[in-house]
Amino acid sequence: MSSRPKFLTDATLAKLAKWLRILGYDTSVYPKEAGRAMLRLAQAEDRIVLTRRGDMIERQFSGRLHLLKQADLAAQLQEIIEKYSLKPEKEKLFGICLKCNKILNPIEVEKARDLVSPYVYQHCKSFNQCPVCQNIYWEGTHQRNSLQFLQKNKIKIN
C-alpha cells in the first residue's frame, strides 16, 4: 500500500487535476455539481477533496477537504504541494493517463510501431500505454513543455 495521497477535485479544477496526474498523483475529477455525492465518493475512495467552493467546508464531512485559496494554476499546484508535503519524484512523472487517471503500462517498442507516427517511432525509445483509452505516451514535446512549466514555477522534482 502506497501512502501517497489521492485526490478528488471538483469539475472546475480539471486543469489542476491534470497537473497532479503529471506529477504522478492519482487524481479524479468529479464530473457533476460539487455536493454531498462528491464528498461521499471521496470518502469511499479515500481521496482528499480539492475545491474552490466555500460552501463545501460548511457541510458535515469527516474526510479530508482542502479549500484552495489560489486562483492561478501554478500557485494552486504549489499550494497543494506545500499543504500535503508532496515530494514529486522524477520516476513517477508522466506515469498516469491524463485523460483516464489510470497508471500507464510500458509497451514494447515493436508494438508501438503501428500506433504512433513514423517520426515518433524513429525518435523515441520507450512508450507507455493507457490500459483504458489505449492512448500512447512517449517522451516528447509535451513532456518537455511540462517540465519547463514546472521549472519556471519553481516546482521541485526530487
List interacting residues with Zn ion (CB under 5 A).
Answer: 97, 99-100, 130, 132-133, 135
Strands 136-138 and 7-9: unpaired
CB of 136 to Zn ion, least distance (A): 10
Helix or strand run (H / E) with residue 65? strand 65-67
CA nearest to 35, candidates 17, 15, 8, 1: 8
Task: Tell me whether residue 37 or residue 133 sits nearer to Zn ion (CB atom).
Answer: 133
Cell reading at 154: 519553481
Select 23 or 34, whichever has its Cβ closest to Zn ion: 23
Q: Min. distance of Cβ 102 from Zn ion in angstroms?
A: 6
- Comparison of 68 and 97: residue with beta carbon closer to Zn ion: 97
**What is the closest distance, in whole angstroms, from the C-beta atom of residue 40 to Zn ion in the complex?**
25
Task: For residue 48, give the nearest of 34, 67, 35 by alpha carbon.
Answer: 67
